[in-house]
C-alpha cells in the first residue's frame, strides 16, 4: 500500500499533465512540449505505477497496450445503426441530392457541412462518465466487432475526456498515414511477407490483430466525425457538434467547411479534388451533411443510408488495357451479366483483369467490342469498369458483342423484361441460378458457413451431391472426403459449420434465401416484426407494406417468392433438416410488458429521445411502433414540428401524447 499521499498525488498530477499534452497534440495539433520532455513524464509515471500497482487505473496513459493475445472478437450491437452513405459521382448527383433535401424541407434554409472522406475503417467509441469503455467496427451497421483492446493502443483516441459526459457514443475513421503505410510495406517486403494493397486495407488488418501489441506498432490514427448517441441535449448542429468533440479531446479534421448552398459545396469539393494527393493521409472523396440536427431528424433515412448526407466520390484512377474476351455469368435471380476479360493492369493498388459490363445497353452505348483498347477505372475505387473504348485504334479484327438469345448455362431462352435493362434466363432450374443461389446462401451476412467456398460448391454440384441449399444439410463425411482438397480435418470442420448454421437467426436465413430486393436490413426488419418464417409466409402485400421501411417492391417480391411451390418445398426441407425458423426476440420480463399489444406512432422531434431510442423504449415494454396512423393506432407521440401524422391522429380520435406524457406512460 502507499504509505503516504505523495505517490498518489504525483500520479494524478502526471496523468493530468500527460492528458493535457495529448489533447494539445492530437486534438489541437498544437504541441506545447518537446518529445523528450513528454517521454520523461511517461517514464516517471511508469516508475511510480510499477512501485505502487494499486494506483494503476484504466484511463492511465500507461495502460494503452495490453500484453494478452485475444482469442477472437465478439459481436456487439450499435445502439443507433451505423448506416452507410449513398454516393454522388459528379456535380449533377450533388445538385440532385440538394433538390431532394429542399423538396423534403420546403421553404426552409439549409446549410451543409462538407468534410474530407478519410479512406479508412469506420469505428464507434463509447464513453461513460468521460471514460473510454468500448470501441467497435461498423460491421453490418447493426452489429460490429468489439476491438476495444486494439483501439486503446491508438494514441489519438482519448482514454478520458475533458468533461465527465454521462454517456456518449462517437463515430469516426481509423486510418494509416501514408508514410506509416510505406514503412510497413517496406518492412514486410524485407521479411518476405505479403504486402498490403493500400492504406485502408492496412488499417483494417491492423485493427483486427489478435495481439494488441502489433496494432500498437502500426502507428494508426483517427479522425472523429459524428456523435452517434448522446445522453442529454444535442449540440443543435453538426458543425457545433464537431467543435464540441474537439473540446472533449477528440481529434477532429480541421479541413471542414459550413456551406450555405450547393454551389459553395461543389466549389469546396472541387478545391479538395485538385489537392487530394497533397495530404499525409488518403482521402477518396468528400462527405456532405445537412448541418441542422433537427432537420436531419425530419429527413430521416432509407433502409441503407440517411437522406441528410451523401458521399461525393472523387473520380477513380484510370488505366488503359485490351479487352481479350467477353464472358457471361448467370446470377442467382437469373440475370445474365457480361464481363470483360482484360489484359492485366495495375489500378488503385491491385491487379485488374476483369471489368463488369452490367448489361447489353452499356455495351451498345459505349460500342464495346472484343479486341478494343479500353480505358478502365475502379468505380467508387472498388469495382473495375470500362469508361470508354478507342475506336480510332481499331485494326478491323475487333468483334461486336450482343447478349445471346439462349442461356450460356442451360440453353433455355433468355428474355429482357419490359422496363428492365437486364436479360434473364427463363429456366427456374438453371444450374447457374442454383449455384449462385447456394453461394449466396452460405455467404457472410447470410448463413455464413465457413469453409464452403465457391470451389467446393462447384465440386458438390458436379458430383450431383447438391442442387439447392437444403441439400447441404444432407452431406455426409464420406461424400466430402472424396472431394479435391478436402481432407479428414476440413471435411469434419465443414460438417461442424453446417450444423452450427442451423442455429442462425431467422434474419440470416431470410437474407440467405436470395429473395429479390430483400437485403440484410429488410430481412432483419421482417424477422423482428413477424418473429417466424411461418408468419412471414402468410403475410399479404398490405400486411407487409404497413411495416416501416418495407415498400411495395419488397412486399410483392416476398409474396411472389413464397407462392411458388418449389420455394415452399425448399423451406419445408430446411425446416426438416433442423434449420431455425424463429427469430430470437428479446422479450422483457412478464411484469415489464406494460405496453403489450399497444401500437405507437412517433412523429416530430423529441428533446430527450432520438427516434430510434423512443422505438426501443416502446418495444422493450412490449409495444409496437408503426410508421403510419390508422384506427388501430393506440398512441401518437408528438414532438416539435409533428406534421400530418398529428393531424390524422386528431381526426381519428387517437390518443396523443406529448413528450412528458410519453415519459409518464413509460414509467408507469
pLDDT at 113: 98
Neighbour count for residue 534 (Cβ, 10 Å): 12
CB within 8 A of 637, min separation 6: which ones?
Answer: 600, 601, 602, 603, 606, 614, 657, 658, 659, 662
pLDDT at 589: 47
For each of the domains in the chain, give its residue range(s) and CATH number, in order of start. Answer: 5-63 (1.10.287.610), 87-313 (3.30.470.30), 318-416 (2.40.50.140), 431-501 (1.10.150.20), 506-576 (1.10.150.20), 590-667 (3.40.50.10190)
pLDDT at 193: 59
- Distance (Å, whole) CA 486 – CA 416: 41
Q: Residues 119-163: pLDDT tens digits?
A: 999 999 999 999 999 999 998 788 888 999 999 999 999 999 999
- Distance (Å, whole) CA 652 – CA 631: 6
Q: Is 71 helix (H, G, I), strand (E, B) or coil?
A: coil
pLDDT at 97: 96
pLDDT at 69: 47
pLDDT at 190: 57
**DSSP summary character for residue 321:** E
| SS3 of 424-459 | EECCCCCHHHHHHHHHHHCCCCCCCCCCCCHHHHHH
Tell whether residue 313 is among the known ligand binding residues. yes
Q: Residues 407-451: pLDDT tens digits?
A: 999 999 999 878 778 899 999 889 898 899 999 999 988 999 988
Q: Residues 228-252: pLDDT tens digits?
A: 999 888 899 999 999 999 999 999 9
Tell whether residue 35 is among the known ligand binding residues. yes
Tell whether residue 84 is among the known ligand binding residues. yes
Tell whether residue 36 is among the known ligand binding residues. yes
Calculate the dihedral angle through the C-alpha atoms of 332, 333, 338, 344, rounding to the nearest 10 degrees.
-30
Tell whether residue 17 is among the known ligand binding residues. no
- Which element (helix H / strand E) includes 75? strand 75-77
Tell whether residue 312 is among the known ligand binding residues. no
Tell whether residue 85 is among the known ligand binding residues. yes
Pairing of strands 599-603, 624-625: parallel
For residues 160 and 219, the answer to whether their CB atoms sit within 8 Å is no
For residues 147 and 206, the answer to whether their CB atoms sit within 8 Å is no
pLDDT at 108: 95
Catalytically annotated residues? 117
Kindly give the parts of the chain with pLDDT less than 70: 1-6, 25-31, 35-36, 63-72, 189-195, 316, 348-349, 379-383, 548, 584-592, 607-608, 610, 667-668
Tell whether residue 60 is among the known ligand binding residues. no
Q: Which residues pair with 174 in a beta bridge?
A: 121, 222
Amino acid at each position: 500500500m502507499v504509505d503516504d499521499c505523495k505517490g498518489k498525488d504525483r500520479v494524478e498530477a502526471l496523468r493530468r499533465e500527460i492528458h493535457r499534452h495529448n489533447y494539445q497534440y492530437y486534438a489541437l495539433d498544437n504541441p506545447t512540449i518537446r518529445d523528450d520532455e513528454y517521454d520523461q513524464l511517461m517514464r516517471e509515471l511508469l516508475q511510480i505505477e510499477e512501485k505502487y500497482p494499486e494506483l494503476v487505473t484504466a484511463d492511465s496513459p500507461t495502460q494503452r497496450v495490453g500484453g494478452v493475445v485475444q482469442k477472437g472478437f465478439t459481436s456487439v450491437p450499435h445502439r443507433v445503426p451505423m448506416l452507410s452513405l449513398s454516393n454522388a459521382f459528379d456535380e449533377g448527383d450533388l445538385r440532385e441530392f440538394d433538390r431532394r433535401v429542399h423538396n423534403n424541407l420546403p421553404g426552409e434554409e439549409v446549410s451543409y457541412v462538407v468534410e474530407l472522406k478519410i479512406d479508412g475503417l469506420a469505428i464507434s467509441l463509447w464513453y461513460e462518465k468521460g471514460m473510454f469503455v468500448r470501441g467497435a467496427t461498423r460491421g453490418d451497421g447493426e452489429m460490429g466487432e468489439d476491438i476495444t483492446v486494439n483501439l486503446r493502443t491508438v494514441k489519438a483516441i482519448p482514454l478520458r475526456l475533458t468533461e465527465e459526459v454521462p454517456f456518449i457514443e462517437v463515430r469516426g475513421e481509423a486510418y494509416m498515414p501514408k508514410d506509416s503505410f510505406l514503412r510497413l510495406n517496406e518492412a514486410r517486403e524485407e521479411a518476405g511477407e505479403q504486402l498490403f494493397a493500400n492504406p485502408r486495407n492496412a488499417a483494417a488488418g491492423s485493427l483486427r490483430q489478435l495481439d494488441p501489441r502489433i496494432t500498437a506498432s502500426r502507428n494508426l490514427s483517427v479522425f472523429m466525425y459524428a456523435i452517434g448517441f448522446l445522453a442529454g441535449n444535442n449540440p443543435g448542429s453538426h458543425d457545433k457538434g464537431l467543435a464540441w468533440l474537439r473540446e472533449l479531446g477528440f481529434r477532429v479534421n480541421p479541413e471542414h467547411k459550413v456551406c450555405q448552398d450547393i454551389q459553395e459545396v461543389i466549389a469546396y469539393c472541387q478545391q479538395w479534388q485538385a489537392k487530394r494527393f497533397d495530404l499525409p493521409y488518403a482521402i477518396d472523396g468528400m462527405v456532405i451533411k445537412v448541418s441542422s440536427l433537427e432537420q436531419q431528424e425530419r429527413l430521416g433515412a432509407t433502409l441503407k443510408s440517411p437522406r441528410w448526407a451523401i458521399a461525393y466520390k472523387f473520380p477513380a484512377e484510370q488505366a488503359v488495357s485490351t479487352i481479350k474476351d467477353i464472358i457471361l455469368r448467370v446470377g442467382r435471380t437469373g440475370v445474365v451479366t457480361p464481363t470483360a476479360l482484360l489484359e492485366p493492369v495495375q489500378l488503385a493498388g491491385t491487379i485488374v483483369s476483369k471489368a463488369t459490363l452490367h448489361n447489353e445497353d452499356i455495351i451498345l452505348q459505349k460500342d464495346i467490342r472484343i479486341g478494343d483498347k479500353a480505358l478502365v477505372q475502379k468505380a467508387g475505387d472498388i469495382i473495375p469498369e470500362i469508361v470508354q473504348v478507342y475506336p480510332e485504334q481499331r485494326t478491323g479484327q475487333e468483334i461486336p458483342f450482343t447478349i445471346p438469345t439462349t442461356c450460356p448455362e442451360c440453353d433455355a431462352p433468355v428474355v429482357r423484361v419490359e422496363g428492365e435493362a437486364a436479360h434473364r434466363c427463363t429456366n427456374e432450374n438453371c444450374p447457374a441460378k442454383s449455384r449462385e443461389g447456394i453461394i449466396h446462401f452460405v455467404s457472410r451476412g447470410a448463413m455464413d458457413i465457413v469453409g464452403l467456398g465457391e470451389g467446393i460448391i462447384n465440386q458438390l454440384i458436379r458430383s450431383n451431391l447438391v442442387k439447392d441449399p437444403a441439400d447441404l444439410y444432407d452431406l455426409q463425411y464420406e461424400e466430402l472426403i472424396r472431394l479435391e482438397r478436402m481432407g479428414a480435418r476440413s471435411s469434419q470442420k465443414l460438417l461442424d459449420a453446417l450444423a452450427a448454421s442451423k442455429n442462425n437467426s431467422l434474419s440470416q436465413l431470410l437474407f440467405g434465401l436470395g429473395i429479390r430486393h430483400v437485403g440484410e436490413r429488410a430481412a432483419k426488419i421482417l424477422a423482428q416484426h413477424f418473429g417466424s418464417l411461418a408468419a412471414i409466409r402468410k403475410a399479404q402485400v398490405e400486411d407487409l407494406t404497413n411495416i416501416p421501411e418495407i415498400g411495395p417492391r419488397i412486399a410483392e417480391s416476398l409474396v411472389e417468392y413464397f407462392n411458388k411451390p418449389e420455394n415452399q418445398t425448399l423451406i419445408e426441407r430446411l425446416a426438416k433438416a433442423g434449420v431455425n425458423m424463429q427469430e430470437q426476440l428479446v422479450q422483457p420480463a412478464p411484469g415489464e410488458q406494460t405496453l403489450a399489444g399497444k401500437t405507437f406512432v412517433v412523429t416530430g422531434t423529441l428533446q430527450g429521445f432520438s427516434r430510434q431510442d423512443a422505438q426501443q423504449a416502446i418495444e422493450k415494454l412490449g409495444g409496437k411502433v408503426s410508421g403510419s396512423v390508422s384506427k388501430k393506432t393506440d398512441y401518437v407521440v408528438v414532438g416539435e414540428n409533428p406534421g400530418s401524422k398529428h393531424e390524422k391522429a386528431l381526426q381519428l380520435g387517437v390518443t396523443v401524447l406529448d413528450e412528458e406524457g410519453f415519459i409518464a406512460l413509460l414509467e408507469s
